[in-house]
Amino acid sequence: MLFRLAKPATSRLATITKGHAILAKHSRPFATVNSNTPRLQPTPPRTRATPISHDRATFTIRDGPVFSGKSFGAASNISGEAVFTTSLVGYPESLTDPSYRGQILVFTQPLIGNYGVPSAARDDNGLLRHFESPNLQAAGVVVADVAEQYSHWTAVKSLGEWCAEEGVPAVSGVDTRAIVTYLREQGSSLARITIGEEYDADQDEAFTDPEQINLVGKVSTKAPFHVSSGTGDYHVAVIDCGVKENILRSLVSRGASVTAFPYDYPIHKVAHHFDGVFISNGPGDPTHCQDTVYHLRRLMESSQLPIMGICLGHQLLALASGARTIKLKYGNRAHNIPALDLTTGRCHITSQNHGYAVDASTLNSDWKELFINLNDSSNEGIVHKSRPIFGTQFHPEAKGGPLDSSYLFDTYLESVSRYKKSQAIFQPERENRPSPLLVDLLAKERVGVVPTTGMENLLRMGEAGEQAMRAANAA
């Protein structure tokens, strides 16, 4: 495994050093194995930052109503998919969740921002304490009322200051009840936020659909990175489709060191070096990730490793098994959605953020449903009938709560422990703890994720950045 991963890292590093130094600025160094060295993540240059705009703002739904309000974020115009969340708290976690990439997030909670935005402090494992990723991921923010004056002992800035720093437009003073009513009746819709300009109906033709873009490729790591655990000797491979910090924390705190790989990495080729595989959450349509589905299918055919998937990872696991996914009318995004455990009959209150779901009727005979949504009866989990493989649509790690289903991480790591012990019987010399040398080598190759700039700005970046990234990866 050392030579398999280290050799490409060396050549790519040389390419970046010579021709793509700008990409190296986004590098995310690795933690060493022997100590919990913080995973330092240099903040990309704030070229997107603008002063807080208090101009007129317009929120326009394509072929739908137009809402006029006031800007309290960045002075930039964007388009994306308008979705809503009914969560009462946890807006810093929601807005930094990579699953919201390309979406304009509408909050049903009338007042947002009253406890400000906390610092980017990190814990002993180098993971962000208060955010799910280093940057604000949503393309835009829409609220009924924003608290410009905040009060909380962890706060260091206002929501408006944060949005302006991140280059994300935000709108207040609109009727979010009417917006949500429309989205519930019509389904998730394309929308625009326009700052300081009168509404122009001709701009309706300029809406950009993020569902046509492979958003996972935008939020996934571009090279492996490692987070060590000082409390155990498990080693789990994470397929990073936009992994949340608290997923990594939930694994590391339970004794599993984590090596995260790009979403399209051929994980089946290196799986034998690990005690388990984990598939993370992520944004967009799961059918864009055909390489991931293929690699997962190969993994399940060639290995008996325990596998767990969350959110998008759950959907990719289902696709790899031969099932299909469907797009929900307006999705499920909240911290209070009931899910029924079909094995125990117990109901769990769960945190969710997804617009797609697994079509349980397409599962083959080796699989069965594990959870169902008690609001809309959609699938919330699947499990293999004879192997330690399962996935959940909801988020058991939910940073903003609730924690009803956090025990599922314990269930997963119990299967990891059993697998590791069984392998020790047949291969007593087997050692899956990561090599310090390997981790140090990988640390030099970590290429970070470009922050969100709204779908229009993302496309306006041109193909130059994409070509540079492809050239670095191909070198």
Point out the residues that are catalytic: 311, 395, 397
Radius of gyration of the chain (CA): 22
Distance CA 69, CA 57 (A): 5
Q: Count the Cβ atoms, other than its own, within 10 Å of residue 359.
A: 14
Distance CA 273, CA 456 (A): 41
Amino acid, single-letter form, for residue 237: A
Any idea how long the chain is? 475
Distance CA 12, CA 109 (A): 46
Report whether 84 contacts 179 (CB < 8 A).
yes
The continuous run of DSSP H or E covering 124 comes out as none
Report whether 210 contacts 458 (CB < 8 A).
no
CA geometry: angle 310, 313, 315, nearest 5 deg: 105
The continuous run of DSSP H or E covering 361 comes out as none
Q: Count the Cβ atoms, other than its own, within 10 Å of residue 186.
A: 13
Distance CA 279, CA 261 (A): 10
> What's the burial of 34, exposed, middle or buried (CB within 10 Å: 0-12/13-18/19+)?
exposed
How many H-runs (helices) and E-runs (strands) does the chain carry? 13, 21
Report whether 94 contacts 72 (CB < 8 A).
no
The pair of three-digit structure tokens given for residue 435, joined into one six-digit string: 């090599």
Distance of CA 135 to the CA centre of its chain: 11
The pair of three-digit structure tokens given for residue 92, joined into one six-digit string: 């810093």
3 state SS of 114: coil
Amino acid, single-letter form, for residue 69: G
Distance CA 82, CA 453 (A): 16
Distance CA 200, CA 178 (A): 21
Residue 83 has what DSSP assignment?
E
Residue among 132, 413, 36 nearest 255 (CA):
413
Distance CA 167, CA 454 (A): 9
